[in-house]
Amino acid sequence: MVIFIPELVCRMCYSFKNWVPFYLSVGFFFWFSASVSAKENKKDLFSDSIMTQVFNRSEMYGKYIVEYDAMAYMKGTRSIRKKNSLFRPIADFLRLRRNWREAVFESIINIHYEAPNNFTQKIIAINGNNSDAEVIYNQSAQFFNINIYNPTSFNDEVLMPTVKKAFDYYHFYYDSTIDTLTHRIFKIRIEPKIKSQKLVSGYLYILDKSWAITEIDLKGNWDFSEFRIHTKFGFPNDDFLMPKESALSLNVKILGNNVFYRYDLYYTHSRIQKYEAITKTNPYDLSDYFNIELDSLPIIKDSIYWRDNRPIPLTEEELKIYDNSRSVHPSTKTDNFLAKYDRSWDIVKKFVTTRKFEYRSTQFRYSGLLNPLKFAYSRRDGITYWQRLKLYKEFHSGQMIYFSPDIGFVFKRKEIFFNTPLTYSFHPSKLGQLSFSIGNRNQAYNSKIIDVINEVLPDSLNFDDFNLEYYKHYYLTLSGQYELFNGFICSLGADYHIYKPVKNVEEPIPELRSTLNDDVIDLIDNQYRSFTPTIRLQWTHKQYYRINPNRGEKEYVRSNFPTLSVEYARGINGFLDGNSNYERIEADIQQHIPLGLLRSFQYYAGAGVFTNTKSVYFADFKNFTRRNFPHSWDDQIGGVFQLLDSRWYNASNNYFQFHAMYEAPFVLLHFFRNISNEIFKERFYFSQLYTHALPSYTEIGYGIGNYIFNTGVFVSLNKGRYDTFGFKFAFELGR
C-alpha cells in the first residue's frame, strides 16, 4: 500500500501532463466564446438603446413637418430579364408592352404633402418609350409617398421598424459609426423576427443626439416583387427630415418570368411648413389625399426642356434605350411564330381575362367569360361562378349612368342568381342617385306554411324531410337617395316582389299534407305579389370622404364612428295586384376599428321583424340574406353565415344577428416560418343568430389571405352543440 499510492500519483500527474494542451484549448474556446458573446450582447444593447431613443422621438418627428410642396424629377427603366411561354398573359397582367424588352421614361412631378401621410401628385411633363404611366406611378408612389415615422407605410401594408412596438417584430444590430465633419451617424441593421411580407430588413442611419433618421435602405417582398427602397433625408438646417432623393428597385418574378424595374426620384422643395397645425375649412374632405392625376398626360419630347430640368444627366445605357426605341419599330423584332402566338393569346385573352373598352366618355368592362378567378367554393353551395359587366357613361354636366349587371351560378343547388342594377347619378357630390334593378333571390315559402310546420315539428325542424321550396322569388326595385348632410343619407323607394310557384316538384310528405287545410293547399299553386314602399336612413358621424377631381363624385373613405341605419317597409294590399299586407322594420350598426400595427376589429349587428301581418307574406328580410356583406368591411368572407342552410333565412318573422372579425398579421402563423412569408393576414370570425325557428346558432371560423386568395374554415353550433364543418375559398387576384 505504501508503494502503490506514490505510483498512482505519478501516473495521474503524467496523464494530466499529456492532457494539458487539450484543457487549455477548451478553456480558451469558452473564454473566447464568452468574450465574443459579451461583445455581441453589448452591441445589441447599444443598438437597442439607440432605437429606444428613436422610438421616443418618432411621434414628435412624425408631426414635425406639417406641409410641404416639392418639384420632383423621376426617371425609370424597365428590362425583361427572363421570359417563357407564359409571358404573354403575364405581360397583360402587368400591363407591359410585350415587344419592348427595355423601356425608359422620365417625368416632372409636383408633390404636395400634408401630415401625417397625405400625398398629392400632379404630373407636369413626361417623356420616354414606355407609355404605361398609370402602372408606373401606381407601382412606385406607394414607396416614395412615405412618412418613416408612421407605424405602417407602403400603402399601409408594411409594419415599419421605427415605432415603439417594433421590438416585438424586429431584431436590431449595431453595424458601424460614420463620422462626418459635423455629425456622427449610427448605422443599425434590422432583421425581422419572422419571415413575412409585412416586415422589412435592411439598414437605418440615425443621427447622434437628435436621433433622427437620415437614411433608410430597406428591402422586402411586395406581391410578386422583391423591392429595395433607398431614401436620403435632410440634415439639421438643411431641409431637416425632408426626403432629398430616393432609389427604388422592383424585381418581379412570376411563373419563371422576370421583369426588373429601377426608379430614381430627386426632390426640390419649394415650401416647407413646420410645427404649426393647418386649419382646414373642412377637415373631413380627403379629396386630394393619395391622389395621382393621370387622365391627361403632358407628353413633352423637347430635348432642351429635359436638359434644363434634369438634376442629373441620363446614363449612357438610358440614352441607348432611347436611341434604340426611336430607330427600331417594335414590330420588326417579332418573328412570324411569335406574331401567331400573340394573335392566339389575344383570342384566348378575350375569354379568360377582364376586358376594358373606352370610347370618349363611355367605358365598358366585363370579367371574361371563362375567367378562372371568378370561381369560389364553399361547403354549403359547392362551386360557384359569377360574372359582372360594367357600363359607365359620363355627361358634360358631371352626371353619370352606371349599368353593372352580375350573374352567378351555384352548381350544387343548380340555381342561377342575377341582378341588373341601373343607376343614374344626378348629383354626384351629394350622392344623389336614382336606381332601378331586376333580380332574384333564394327560393322561399310563405308564412302560412311555416306556421303549420312549426306546429307539426316545433322542436326538430328538419328541411331535408320534405320539400318546401315552393316559390321562386323575383323582384323589381326603384329607389332614390340623397345626402342631406355629410354622412347622413336618406333613401326612398319601392320594391315589387313576385313569388311564383315551383312546378313539377314532389308533394310534401303525407304526414305534413294531412295537416294542411284546403286554403293552405290552394296557396301552393297561387302567385303572390307584394308592392312595398320603403324608407331608409343611414348616418355616420364625422365621415371622411374624397371627391373625384374629374367626375365630382363623392366617395366615403372612413370614420372613427359606427354607421347606423334603419329601414321601414310596408306592403300595400291591392295596389298593382299586391296581395300582401305587412310591415317590415330592420336596423343595423357596423364599424371598422383600426387597432394599429396592421390589426383591426370589425363588427356588424342587425335585427329585423315583420309586424302587422294582416295577410300571407314572405319573410324575406333585406339585411338577413346569404350574400349581405357589411359595406364597411374589407373582407369578402366574414359578415355572413357560411354554413347556414339558405332555407332558414325565411323560417321566422324576426331575427337578430351579430358578426365580428379580428384581423392581424401575426397570431398563429408565426409558429410556421415556412409559410408566414406568403400569408399577409389572419382572421378570426364569430357569428351569432337568434330567430324564433332557430333559437341559437353560432359559427366560429379562422381564415388566412394574401393578394392571391382568401380562405377560411368554419364550425357551426346549434344550441351550443356541434352541427357541421366547412370552408370557403375565393380569389383575391383581380378583385
CATH architecture group of domain 354-731:
Beta Barrel (2.40)
Q: Give 547-561 as a DSSP string.
A: E-TTT--EEEEE-SS
| Per-residue pLDDT at 145 | 77
Distance CA 488, CA 114 (A): 27
| Per-residue pLDDT at 487 | 92
Number of neighbouring beta carbons within 10 Å of residue 118: 16
| Per-residue pLDDT at 21 | 58
pTM for the predicted model, two decimal places: 0.72
Tell me the average pLDDT of the chain: 78
319, three cell numbers: 440614352
Q: Are 411 and 398 in contact (CB under 8 A)?
A: no
pLDDT, tens digit, for every residue of 633-682? Answer: 777 788 889 888 877 888 888 899 999 999 988 778 766 666 656 667 88
| Mean pLDDT, range 598-619, rounded to an integer | 87
Backbone angles phi, psi at 14, to 5 degrees: -65, -40
The letter for the amino acid at 54 is V
3-state SS, 176-234, equals EEEECCCCEEEEEEEEECCCCCCCCEEEEEEECCCCCEEEEEEEEEECCEEEEEEEEEE
Which of the four pLDDT bands, split at 50, 70 and 90, describes residue 717? very high
Provide, rounded to the nearest whole percent, the portion of the chain with pLDDT above 90: 19
pLDDT at 343 over 70: no
Give the highest mean pLDDT range of 255-259, 291-295, 564-568.
Answer: 564-568
pLDDT, tens digit, for every residue of 505-532? Answer: 444 445 555 555 555 555 445 678 889 9
> 4-8, 267-271, 724-728: which has the minimum mean pLDDT?
4-8
The edge-to-edge listing of strands for the beta sheet with 213-222 is 170-179, 184-192, 201-207, 213-222, 225-233, 243-254, 257-274, 65-82, 102-114, 118-128, 291-293
| Per-residue pLDDT at 459 | 52
| Mean pLDDT, range 621-640, rounded to an integer | 81
Alpha helices in 428-580 (DSSP H): 447-456, 510-513, 518-524
Which of the four pLDDT bands, split at 50, 70 and 90, describes residue 40? very low
Distance CA 234, CA 207 (A): 11
| Per-residue pLDDT at 2 | 43
> 608 or 81: which carries more pLDDT confidence?
608
293, three cell numbers: 392625376
Q: Is 58 helix (H, G, I), strand (E, B) or coil?
A: helix
| Mean pLDDT, range 149-153, rounded to an integer | 81
Contacts 24+ apart (CB under 8 A), 170-179: 170/199, 172/44, 172/47, 172/48, 172/50, 172/51, 173/43, 173/44, 173/47, 174/43, 174/44, 174/46, 174/47, 174/50, 175/203, 178/205
Locate the DSSP E strands across 446-581.
471-485, 488-501, 528-540, 544-547, 554-558, 563-571
Q: Are 247 and 46 in contact (CB under 8 A)?
A: no
pLDDT at 458 over 50: no
Distance CA 34, CA 31 (A): 5
Give the highest mean pLDDT range of 474-488, 566-580, 604-618, 671-685.
Answer: 474-488
| Mean pLDDT, range 595-620, rounded to an integer | 86
| Per-residue pLDDT at 86 | 74
Residues contacting 587, CB < 8 A, separation 6+: 564, 565, 566, 567, 606, 607, 608
Sign, CA dihedral 364-366-368-371, equals positive
Distance CA 711, CA 234 (A): 45
> 324 or 172: which carries more pLDDT confidence?
172
Provide, rounded to the nearest whole percent, the portion of the chain with pLDDT above 70: 73
Beta bridge partners of 606: 588, 657
By the 10 Å C-beta count (0-12 exposed, 13-18 middle, 19+ buried), 10 is classed as exposed
Number of neighbouring beta carbons within 10 Å of residue 492: 13
> 358 or 12: which carries more pLDDT confidence?
358
| Per-residue pLDDT at 33 | 52
> What's the distance, Cα to Cα, between the start and end of the chain in Å?
94
Distance CA 412, CA 385 (A): 11
Residues contacting 471, CB < 8 A, separation 6+: 443, 444, 445, 446, 499, 500, 501, 502, 528, 618
> 271 or 130: which carries more pLDDT confidence?
271
CA-to-CA dists, residue 523 to 38, 346, 444, 519, 520, angstroms: 87, 54, 13, 6, 5
pLDDT at 693 over 60: yes
| Per-residue pLDDT at 709 | 78
pLDDT, tens digit, for every residue of 93-143? Answer: 666 665 567 788 888 888 888 776 677 777 888 887 665 666 676 677 778
Residues of the chain with CATH 2.40.160.50: 354-731
Give the highest mean pLDDT range of 12-21, 238-247, 697-706.
Answer: 697-706
| Per-residue pLDDT at 9 | 47
The overall longest dimension of the chain from CA atoms, in Å, is 128
Distance CA 455, CA 695 (A): 16
